[in-house]
């Protein structure tokens, strides 16, 4: 067969002449280049499914390596599951950065691509980036999502929870044990006191809510009564004017009377008119006298309702803070914005369907030494309890300072530390990054931050969701078929500082939180 092909090629070259030879040579070179490129796309064979030879705990984080095309899940004691993946192709790259699971759908189907099946979907952004089961050709082949083996995705689905950290790294990255005096150290007494404090504050919140409701009803009744005063006064003024006119007519009739009989009738008429006019004047004076206290009462009950509503808000805020005190807390420090952000999952379903609401009420300036120098992107995670409080790890996915130097440059406000450090629990985290928060960060996400020095085609080609709230049944779709958005601005957008758009730039703006307060 080889000799026959060689003979045919030689014959063809003779028949085509020099131009044919050049063409054939070009085709041969192109074929070689294509084969070479295809070979480069194929990832190392080491990326295979694996399970740690021990009993696994709850997954705390997942790390996706774009370079090695693999995902590794970690519990408190190390890696537990590993599998090959297929990330985004050129132009539709999976964004590298820091994410968390924000929604899970066992049997997701695309609303854009012929009802394509994307089983065991675990969403990490509302504009459509997710981990899900899918075909793996051995190289990057998705439209931005992270495809995992079908069976692996199915077995994994029930093991993860909303809020689990997902780190997508351009290179291989692993958690490294880490300690530093700036990391949170919980207080046993503070943790033990949380349940009783939460119960007490919940009762106070309920009482404040009842009082606010009653005061609001009283204010509404007083306002209705005060609102009716002008009409009542106008009616009484009309009656007095009419009575005065009747009295004046009676006076004229009396003056014009020519006979005793006519004079008698006129005097009787005047007496009745005078009594009527006097009664009208009395009613009007009394109404005017009563009007001001009613106006004062309406103003007072309105002020009381405002005070009761404020007391209710404070009580609810305190109760919510106490209830969430033992939830993992996430802190994000951005060198780009010189701000610190704090979030906790409330575990409350989003009002518009899909996902859960994250508390977003802390956003404060932070001091970063040498703010013009890169700091890198580092994810510090409390993996488990320890004798001294918490055992921490760090994952670094972007160049800059090393993890220790990065923490050394940050000064977290003492007020924030006082509120979150005493009750910090495993799975709490501190993220330090050069990047601002992505605009994909909203009240239904944990922190979303993407590396601006890495390609993000699969991210920036999707419609931003800054002015959107996701619903399960909408009609807009992304490249991997996640389609469910409709316009809604009231929850996650408020005027604020805008950040310059860099490569892949979709950046967070300060938000109006769903609920005021710390938690």
Length of the chain counted residue by residue: 519
Query: Could you tell me if 499 and 507 are in contact, meaning their C-beta atoms sit under 8 angstroms apart?
Result: yes
pTM of the model: 0.71
Average pLDDT over residues 114-127: 86
- pLDDT (0 to 100) of residue 2: 37
C-alpha–C-alpha distance, residues 465 and 455, integer Å: 19
Listed in sequence order, the DSSP H helices in 52-142 are: none
Q: What is the pLDDT of residue 353?
A: 75
Edge-to-edge strand list for the sheet holding 50-51: 50-51, 78-84, 70-75, 61-65, 165-169, 97-100, 449-450
Is residue 181 over pLDDT 70?
yes
Looking at residue 250, its pLDDT comes to 84
Question: For all residues of the chain together, what is the average pLDDT?
Answer: 81
Percent of the chain with pLDDT over 90: 55
What's residue 481's pLDDT?
33
Q: What tens digit of pLDDT does each residue of 124-140 get?
A: 998 889 999 999 999 99
pLDDT digits (tens, 9 = 90+) for 292-305: 888 888 899 999 99
Of 466, 389, 402, nearest to 432 by C-alpha is 402
Report the half-sphere exposure of 169 (CA within 13 A, side-chain side). 25
Average the pLDDT over 252-278 and give the result. Answer: 86
> What is the mean predicted confidence (pLDDT) over 495-511?
41
Please report the pLDDT score of residue 88 as a whole number: 94
pLDDT at position 464 is: 52
Q: Sorting pLDDT into bands at 50, 70 and 90, what band is 21?
A: very low
Give the residue, 26 or 182, on which the prediction is more confident: 182
Q: Give pLDDT, residue 429.
A: 97
- Does the pLDDT value for residue 235 go beyond 80? yes
Report the share of the chain in percent with pLDDT over 70. Answer: 78
Least confident stretch, 341-355, 419-433, 470-484: 470-484
Q: How many CB atoms lie within 10 A of CB 42?
A: 11
Alpha-carbon gap, residue 439 to 460, rounded angstroms: 11
Highest mean pLDDT pick, 189-198, 223-232, 508-517: 189-198
* DSSP character at residue 433: E
- As a whole number of angstroms, the distance between CA 85 and CA 375 comes to 29
pLDDT band at 517 (very low <50, low <70, confident <90, very high): very low
Residue 509 has pLDDT above 80, yes or no: no
Over residues 60-106, the pLDDT tens digits come to 999 999 999 999 999 999 999 999 999 999 999 999 999 999 999 99
pLDDT band at 247 (very low <50, low <70, confident <90, very high): confident
State the virtual CA torsion across 350, 351, 354, 359 in degrees, nearest 10. Answer: -10
pLDDT mean over 210-217: 94
Relative orientation angle of helices 188-256 and 260-324, to the nearest 10 degrees: 170
pLDDT tens readout for residues 354-407? 789 998 878 999 999 999 999 999 999 999 999 889 999 999 999 889 999 999
510 vs 277, higher pLDDT? 277
Cα dihedral across residues 317, 320, 322, 324: positive or negative: negative
Lookup: tokens for 221: 């009744």
The pLDDT of residue 113 is 55
Bridge partner list, 119:
107
Q: What 3-state class would DSSP assign to 131? A: strand
pLDDT at 336 (0 to 100): 97
Question: Residue 288: is its pLDDT beyond 90?
Answer: no
With bands split at pLDDT 50, 70 and 90, how would you rate the model's confidence at 460? low
Specify the residue for token string 């996902």.
Answer: 355
CA angle 133, 134, 138 (to 5 degrees): 120
Residue 27 reports pLDDT greater than 50:
no
- Judged by DSSP in three states, 96 sits in coil
Check whether 519 has a pLDDT greater than 70: no
DSSP string, 312-328: HHHHHHHHHHHHHTTS-
450, 457 Cβ separation under 8 angstroms: no
Distance of CA 316 to the CA centre of its chain: 20
């Amino acid at each position: 067969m080889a000799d026959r092909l060689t003979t045919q090629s030689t014959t063809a070259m003779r028949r085509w002449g020099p131009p044919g030879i050049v063409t054939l040579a070009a085709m041969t070179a192109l074929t070689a280049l294509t084969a070479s490129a295809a070979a480069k796309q194929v990832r190392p064979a080491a990326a295979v499914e694996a399970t740690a030879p021990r009993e696994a705990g709850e997954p705390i984080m997942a790390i996706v390596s774009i370079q090695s095309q693999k995902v590794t899940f970690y519990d408190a004691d190390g890696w537990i599951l590993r599998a090959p993946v297929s990330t985004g192709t050129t132009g539709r790259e999976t964004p590298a950065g820091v994410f968390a699971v924000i929604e899970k759908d066992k049997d997701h189907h695309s609303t854009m691509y012929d009802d394509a099946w994307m089983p065991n979907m675990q969403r990490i952004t509302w504009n459509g980036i997710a981990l899900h089961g899918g075909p793996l050709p051995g190289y990057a082949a998705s439209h931005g999502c992270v495809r995992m083996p079908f069976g692996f995705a199915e077995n994994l689905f029930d093991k993860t929870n909303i809020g689990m950290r997902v780190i997508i790294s351009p290179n291989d990255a692993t958690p490294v044990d880490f300690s530093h005096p700036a990391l949170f150290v919980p207080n046993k007494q503070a943790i033990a006191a949380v349940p009783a404090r939460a119960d007490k504050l919940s009762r106070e919140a309920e009482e404040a809510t009842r009082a606010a409701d009653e005061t609001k009803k009283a204010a509404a009744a007083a306002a209705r009564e005060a609102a009716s005063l002008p009409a009542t006064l106008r009616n009484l003024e009309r009656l007095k004017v009419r009575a005065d006119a009747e009295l004046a007519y009676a006076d004229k009739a009396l003056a014009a009377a020519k006979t005793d009989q006519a004079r008698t009738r006129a005097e009787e008429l005047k007496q009745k008119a005078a009594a009527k006019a006097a009664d009208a004047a009395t009613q009007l004076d009394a109404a005017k006298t009563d009007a001001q206290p009613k106006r004062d009462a309406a103003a007072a009950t309105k002020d009381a309702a405002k005070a009761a509503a404020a007391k209710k808000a404070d009580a609810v805020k305190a109760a919510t803070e106490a209830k969430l005190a033992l939830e993992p807390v996430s802190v994000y420090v951005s060198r780009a914005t010189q701000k610190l952000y704090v979030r906790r999952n409330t575990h409350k379903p989003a009002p518009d369907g899909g996902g859960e609401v994250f508390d977003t009420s802390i956003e404060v300036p932070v001091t970063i030494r040498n703010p013009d120098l890169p700091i890198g992107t580092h994810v510090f995670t409390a993996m488990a309890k320890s004798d001294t409080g918490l055992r921490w790890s760090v994952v670094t996915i972007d160049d800059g300072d090393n993890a220790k130097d990065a923490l050394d440059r940050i000064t977290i406000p003492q007020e924030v530390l006082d509120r979150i450090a005493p009750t910090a629990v495993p799975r709490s985290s501190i993220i330090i990054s050069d990047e601002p928060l992505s605009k994909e960060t909203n009240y239904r996400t944990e922190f979303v931050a993407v590396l601006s020095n890495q390609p993000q085609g699969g991210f920036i080609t999707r419609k931003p969701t800054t002015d959107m709230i996701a619903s399960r049944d909408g009609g807009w779709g992304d490249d991997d078929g996640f389609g469910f958005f409709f316009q809604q601005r009231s929850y996650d957008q408020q005027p604020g500082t805008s950040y310059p758009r860099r490569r892949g730039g979709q950046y967070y703006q300060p938000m109006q939180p769903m609920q005021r307060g710390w938690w």
